[in-house]
Amino acid sequence: METGHSQIQRKRRRTTRNGLICDAGEMFTHGNMKTKSLISVILCLALCALLNSMTACAATLYVDAASTNAVSPFTNWLTAAAVIQDAVDAAAPGDTVLVTNGVYASGGRAVARYPLMTNRVCVERAITLRSVNGPEVTVIQGYQVPGTSTGDEAIRCSYLTDGAKLSGFTLAGGATRSSGDSPGEQSGGGVSAKRQARWLPIVH
């Protein structure tokens, strides 16, 4: 025979849930599983929200050499920049600068570390710079000093920092200084790129 104490212990150990008799320990385990599942769902939703936010924040900026109505931040063809550097300066990390047909031979600036070396296109953010129709019809034009090519007035075609991407352009007529820092100012008339940059242009 069960004593009164045993009957009480049995009642404590067994209970009813959704019409089923189960051990209290089993209910506790089931509760832990539900909690873990809920946490997993919350984490998954948070990750999806973060990825969507990052995607939503990435913008496309437009450049057209023939543009007559350039309005920053150049978010469509009607307000496209006429100078590539203007759109690059307006872009944020992760953005894409899309360039249509033309010879781009104006604009540019130097990198702070090498203030005397001008780059026609200076990309100091991790953005993507690409042409619409490829290198046959999209040219970034540097400048070579007459008679010597190199010199203080020379203009390199492009500079790319880590994470920057350049594709679909012909880089033509670029040059560097004849004095100054060897890698920073005297090499790479077509492109000077950091180690983590990516570029696929045609260099002339």
Q: What is the pLDDT of residues 4-60, one digit of tens each?
A: 555 444 444 444 444 444 444 444 445 566 666 667 767 766 775 665 555 557 999
Domain boundary among 16, 34, 56: 56
Q: Do 98 and 167 share a domain, yes or no?
A: yes
- Highest mean predicted confidence (pLDDT) among 28-32, 47-51, 169-173, 191-195: 169-173
Q: Do 81 and 148 share a domain, yes or no?
A: yes
Q: Do 158 and 198 share a domain, yes or no?
A: yes
Q: Round the average pLDDT of the chain to a whole number and report it.
A: 84
Q: Do 186 and 111 share a domain, yes or no?
A: yes
Q: Do 117 and 22 share a domain, yes or no?
A: no
Host domain of residue 45:
4-56
Distance CA 153, CA 108 (A): 13
Burial of 1 (0-12, 13-18, 19+ CB in 10 A): exposed
Distance CA 15, CA 100 (A): 73
Distance CA 87, CA 72 (A): 8
Provide the CB-side half-sphere exposure for 30 (13 A, CA).
Answer: 7
> Would residue 22 be called left, alpha or beta, if left means φ above 0 and alpha means ψ between -120 and 50 degrees?
beta
Q: Do 90 and 77 share a domain, yes or no?
A: yes
Q: Which of 46-55, 132-141, 152-161 has the lowest mean pLDDT?
A: 46-55
* Residue 61 pLDDT greater than 90, yes or no: yes
Distance CA 183, CA 172 (A): 20
How many domains would you assign to the chain?
2
Q: Please tell me the predicted confidence (pLDDT) of residue 149.
A: 95
Q: Do 89 and 190 share a domain, yes or no?
A: yes
Q: What percent of the chain has pLDDT over 90?
A: 64
Burial of 97 (0-12, 13-18, 19+ CB in 10 A): buried
Distance CA 62, CA 94 (A): 15
Token duo for residue 2: 């069960």
Number of C-beta neighbours around residue 155 at 10 A: 22
Q: Do 92 and 155 share a domain, yes or no?
A: yes
Q: What percent of the chain has pLDDT over 70?
A: 73
